[in-house]
Amino acid sequence: MLEISDSIKNLDKEDIADNLLHYDYNTKHLLSLIKNGVDKDDPSYLSSYRSFEGEVFENFIYEKLLRYAEENDYITQFVLKGFHQNKQKAHANTLSISEKEQIVYRTKSREISEFDAMFITKNNELYFVEMTLVKNVLKLRKRLRKKKALLEIIFPHYEIKALIILNHGAIGYKQFPSYCKVWFTKEFSAEEVLDYITDLKKQKLQPKDKIRSPKMIEAHTLKLHPFRYYNTMSWITKTLRSHKKHILDMGFLYNPKIQRYHDLYNKFYIGFISAKSAEKIIGINSSDYREDQRVVVAIEKKHSDEIVLTYYLQTARKTLYLYSYNDEGKIVKEKKDPYGITVTEVFHINKMMDDSYKFSIANVNVIKKLLLERFQRKR
């Protein structure tokens, strides 16, 4: 079974040689802060160091899991990454290794999900692994839900589970779903690795210690069910709006299969409103925008499983704003990452939608009411 070993629990490094020092780390910003004499208690230093420490922790635990998998009869296959795997180009619409040598699933132009580690058990379970030093792990739930949904879609023949590895003292883990197995290690420190990186007279490293075992597999060798991210997204939008009598097909939306896709995408795009309508709904000034400016309407799934309306305003190819309501019922405006997948999604769906997808204010209010009623019935 999957019980934590004393070696992992105590962060024993004796069996991984100098492997931790062979990885490449994103330390450019951290090293510039050190060079400039920034105090270790400065918020900018703490933020940069924690990011670096998270990278080191992930690599350390991955090295330990490699050896754990080799010795544990319950694990039948373990996916290689980093310098352990053969150099393979990342392919679209499949599980593969990214340029940063991470396990990823990607479309042609965007990564959909990244996995810290992955393995298969003799009980036909596929585990994905999350390793984090974050103390409050409540926000992990949304990420876990998305990754589980993706893996259920592309690997329907496996039971998908998650292994979460935390430091002692983490809180919020009791609210993880039942498919999660949680391990705790003692407090981790990356100081030794940082000392090596900053030492001008670097020690001579032992050679990389690679595990040779038939259990070890390349990511691209796992056979998966075909899945096209944008094609599926477009199909869902079209089907949600194709009901002959209703503005939105609620039966289709709440179908368990479609809700699995909702877990993956987090939001479905269902239509658009004019800038004038948006002025009354989300408070923008319509005179600041073109007469034909669209505001895309989406239904977003919150961590509580409530489905709510959100609004996306795209003023240029890489300029996108999200308007949503916070817990106090106030509108919050957020600029989205110009290189994130949401920007591409909105651009794609906007091109697909003709005038038949246009909502009136009354339409929006009806949808809002239907979603609220459905959520209240489920509670």
Question: Within its chain, how far is the Cα of 83 from the centroid?
Answer: 23
Q: Is it the case that residue 327 has pLDDT exceeding 90?
A: no
Quick one: CA torsion of 49, 54, 58, 64, rounded to 10 degrees?
70
pLDDT at 89 over 80: no
Contact, 342 vs 378, CB < 8 A?
A: no
CB 365 within 8 A of CB 281: no
Query: How many other C-beta atoms can be found within 10 angstroms of the C-beta atom of residue 106?
Result: 20
| Per-residue pLDDT at 100 exceeds 90 | no
**Comparing 179 with 379, which gets the higher pLDDT?**
179
Render pLDDT for 265-282 as a digit per residue (tens, 0 to 9).
Answer: 999 999 999 999 999 999
Percent of the chain clearing pLDDT 70 (strictly above): 99
User: pTM here?
Assistant: 0.92
Q: Which residues are CB-contacts of 180 (< 8 A; sequence separation ≥ 6)? A: 144, 161, 162, 163, 164
Looking at residue 203, what is its pLDDT?
A: 79
Question: DSSP assignment, residue 93?
Answer: T
Spatial CA neighbour of 229 closest among 154, 337, 129, 309: 154
- The answer to whether 308 and 325 have CB atoms below 8 angstroms apart is yes
pLDDT in tens, 75-86: 999 999 999 988
Cβ atoms of 120 and 109 closer than 8 Å:
no
Q: What are phi and psi for residue 371, nearest 5 degrees?
A: -65, -40
Question: Which residue type sits at 247?
Answer: I
Amino acid at 284: I
**Predicted local distance difference test score (pLDDT) of residue 44:** 96
* Predicted pLDDT of residue 349: 97
The pLDDT confidence band at residue 3, using thresholds 50, 70 and 90, is very high
Residue 102 three-state SS? coil
**Least confident window among 69-83, 102-116, 272-286:** 102-116
pLDDT, tens digit (0-9, with 9 covering 90-100), for 137-167: 988 999 999 999 999 999 999 999 999 999 9
Query: What pLDDT score was predicted for residue 88?
Result: 66
Give me the chain's average pLDDT, please.
Answer: 94
Query: For a pLDDT cut of 90, what percent of the chain falls above it?
Result: 85
